[in-house]
Amino acid sequence: MIKRIKLRTLLAGGLFTLLFVGLIVRIYWVQVVKADFWSEQAMKTWVTSETIRQERGKLLDRDGKVLAADALAYTVAVGPKRIAELEALHPEWKLTDRIVSKLHIVLGTEEAKLREFITSKKDDGVTYRDQREVRPDGWKVDKATRDRLAAFRDEIRTLTGVKNDVGLYFMEEQKRYYPNGSLASHILGYESKDGKAVYGLEQKMNEELSGSPGFIKYQKDGARVQLPNGDVEYKQAVDGKDITLTIDKDIQYYIEEALRTAYEKYRPISITAIAADPETMEILGMVSLPDYNPNTYWDTKDQNSFRDNAIQSLYEPGSTFKIVTLAGAVEEGLFDPNAFYKSGTIKYSPKDKPVKDHNGVGWGEITYLDGLKHSSNVAFVKLGYEMLKKERLTKYINDFGFGQKTGIELPNEVSRPFSLNYPSEVATAAFGQGKVLVTPIQQVAAVAAVANGGKLMQPHIVKSISDPNTGEKTLTEPKVIRQVISPETSRKVGEYLETVVSDKAIGTGYKAYIPGYKIAGKTGTAQKVTKNEDNKSGYSKEKYVVSFIGYAPVEKPKIVLYVVVDEPQIANAGGGSVAGPIFKEIMGKSLLHMGIEPNLPKSEETPSSESTKPRRDVEITSSVPDVSGLTVSQARQQLTERSFPVGVLGKGTKVLQQLPKGGSVLPPSQRIYLLTDTKPGNVPDLKGLSLRDALEMCSLLKVAATVDGQGYVTAQKAVKVDGKWILQLTLAPQGQAVEPPAESTEASTEEAASGSSSETKPEG
């Protein structure tokens, strides 16, 4: 018995000894052998890290107006677990149905998909998820959408009596915001919701715009509170660089407004326009339709809307290319404007078909200058094929930059090399058909060289890059590629091209004529190559690319403008009849905006040939003085001296702001409004104001507005929507009558004000 007890004691003692030895070995293993590993694991538990987001650089127009910037956004999420708990306690609330219905209305997500989100469970298939984001529709929504859903959440809380968590959440995010909607969308590109830069300058300048995130690491206790004496590691976020563009937002707007009207009228495949400063080749405006809204890029179904035809589409240029042949012939001393030739047809080679003028029969024996005005193909076959010949014509085409990329700071620019191997290719190239295919940006650069004294400049759209972290600013200097023609040739060609526009009797560009300005220009009408039933290529008799290119003022060019319309749906489409009026509208507004006033006599005689036709010439204009800071009486005196009607808003004694702003060039019939205090008063009569000025007025008065139509305000009406006053503006193109609203057109800003942000959707 005693022996058995001793044995058990020894056995128990041995087990305890082994246990302690094992424990000591384990402690040694953990604290000595694996010390580094477990110290690292403990540190992970004690240390937390938070990312500090950087701000992506802004894209600005040449005057510092924001075109793209980061903005606050929200991601909508639902709480399946919380919603299920509330549904179980109070099924009569029908909480799931209510949330599904509202999210469907606001976000557009399918109801079945929303129910799937709200009822989603973890991998075990039993436990509901704590949270589920509503993607993609609820991902990075704007504040207006978040506010609508937040108001709905408050309604649910009121209905249920639940003060806090009802299963609907909003998480703060950051997204790229384009405050002008589709304005300059091809130039800007966009940033996708997952942060990828796509198209345009967003893609091309992504490295400069991106910056880098920072972080903070610190030690915490079990309650996730930072330890006062703990280690802290901090890296500051580096914001992206701001990029100022050469784009003039107002000129960009003029182009988009004119092109949208034409796009609706002619329904072409595409329509494109580029405006540039010929001295520097700074791009002032560049538009390609169809386009898209970078804020809602996912709504754009037609992939052609993402194509920037200004740099990505190749065209047979048609007669606008005759400027190159003309410049070469003048430079070589071969162009005599007063020499005669026989128009109609020309047989340049025994084996090839003759070239005909566009009217089929020509105009008999005429001078070469008249041939330019008529846009005679025969004249340019003689100049290019017979006089310049292949080698010199090819040299000038190359020297003007065709067949080579321009190097503009945009992605996906295209170009196609050319070779003129046969007589037919040389002859047709002389008047803009055949082997030489051009992009609109190449065409603008070439004609800018004709305008600026003969220098081919590299187009650029980035004016400067500023680093907000260091204050460093890098400017883009104008770059001369080569001298193509002499300044004297440039001057002569400008004079010849000016007659194409000013000669209303025979000039094909007369529809681009603007009284008071000397405009050099050239029309273009190119047949498109199509395939017939036998799959053979040939020129279509129904499909055309029509265009107009020109610059002004001829004596000192400030702007070169190109408009190209691909397949306008209209009979007998021509560059003069379709593209000319578009050019005229954009050029007229742009010159006034740049402070270049027309040189008009007090009374301009109307040519007898035009006496029976309705005309709408450019009004004599005046520059608006800057009267901000002056007393009302001083401001009124300065404005009335220049014949501007004056409207005073408020009861203050000093002018705080004015609209339109000082420096604007306007007809004297335009009313100038003076804001003298910030206290809401009455909304003035906005009729006659442009969309831009009307919206700025509403912004100054803190009035929410909606817009119907395009052009200029023709009527206004205050209406109550969801308990808030909204000012409804009706617009129409200038001169077009619109039925006024039946109700009063004036409302108090105290009634109409519902926040400083407008809910308008201007066209561009």
- What does residue 715 show for φ and ψ, rounded to 5 degrees? -160, 155
Close Cβ partners of 144 (under 8 Å, ≥ 6 residues apart) = 757, 759
Q: Tell me the Ramachandran region of residue 360: left when phi exceeds 0, alpha when psi lies from -120 to 50, beta otherwise.
A: left
Residue 470 CB coordination number (10 Å): 9
How does 391-417 read in b/e, with b if 16+ C-beta sit within 10 Å? Answer: ebbbebbebbbbbeebebbbbebebee
Rounded CA-CA distance 484/454 in Å is: 5
- What does residue 71 show for φ and ψ, rounded to 5 degrees? -145, 160
Rounded CA-CA distance 80/267 in Å is: 49
DSSP one-letter string for 51-86: EEPPPPPPEE-TTS-EEEEEEEEEEEEE-HHHHHHH
**C-alpha dist (Å) from residue 612 to 148, 354, 450, 615:** 58, 39, 36, 9
Q: Is 319 a catalytic residue?
A: yes
Q: Are 706 and 728 in contact (CB under 8 A)?
A: yes
The amino acid present at 674, given as its one-letter code, is: L
**C-alpha dist (Å) from residue 600 to 157, 560, 597:** 69, 22, 9
Residue 298 CB coordination number (10 Å): 13
Rounded CA-CA distance 598/553 in Å is: 10
Residue 44 CB coordination number (10 Å): 10
Rounded CA-CA distance 602/620 in Å is: 9
Rounded CA-CA distance 448/459 in Å is: 10
Close Cβ partners of 630 (under 8 Å, ≥ 6 residues apart) = 638, 654, 655
Rounded CA-CA distance 284/564 in Å is: 17
Rounded CA-CA distance 687/715 in Å is: 6
Q: Catalytic residue among 182, 210, 270, 319, which?
A: 319
CB-count burial class (<10 Å; 0-12, 13-18, 19+) for 458: middle
Q: Which residue has the tokens 């020499």?
A: 339
Rounded CA-CA distance 208/57 in Å is: 8
Close Cβ partners of 225 (under 8 Å, ≥ 6 residues apart) = none
DSSP one-letter string for 730-763: EEE-TT---PPPSS-S--BHHHH-S-SS------
Q: Are 426 and 387 in contact (CB under 8 A)?
A: no
Query: What's the 3-state SS for 426-486?
Result: HHHHCCCCCCCCECHHHHHHHHHHHHCCCEEECCECEEEEECCCCCCEEECCCCEEEECCC
CB-count burial class (<10 Å; 0-12, 13-18, 19+) for 162: middle
Angle at 551 between CA 664 and CA 288, to 5 degrees: 80
Residue 580 CB coordination number (10 Å): 25
Q: Are 729 and 708 in contact (CB under 8 A)?
A: yes
Close Cβ partners of 21 (under 8 Å, ≥ 6 residues apart) = none
Q: Are 448 and 439 in contact (CB under 8 A)?
A: no
Please list the active-site residues: 319
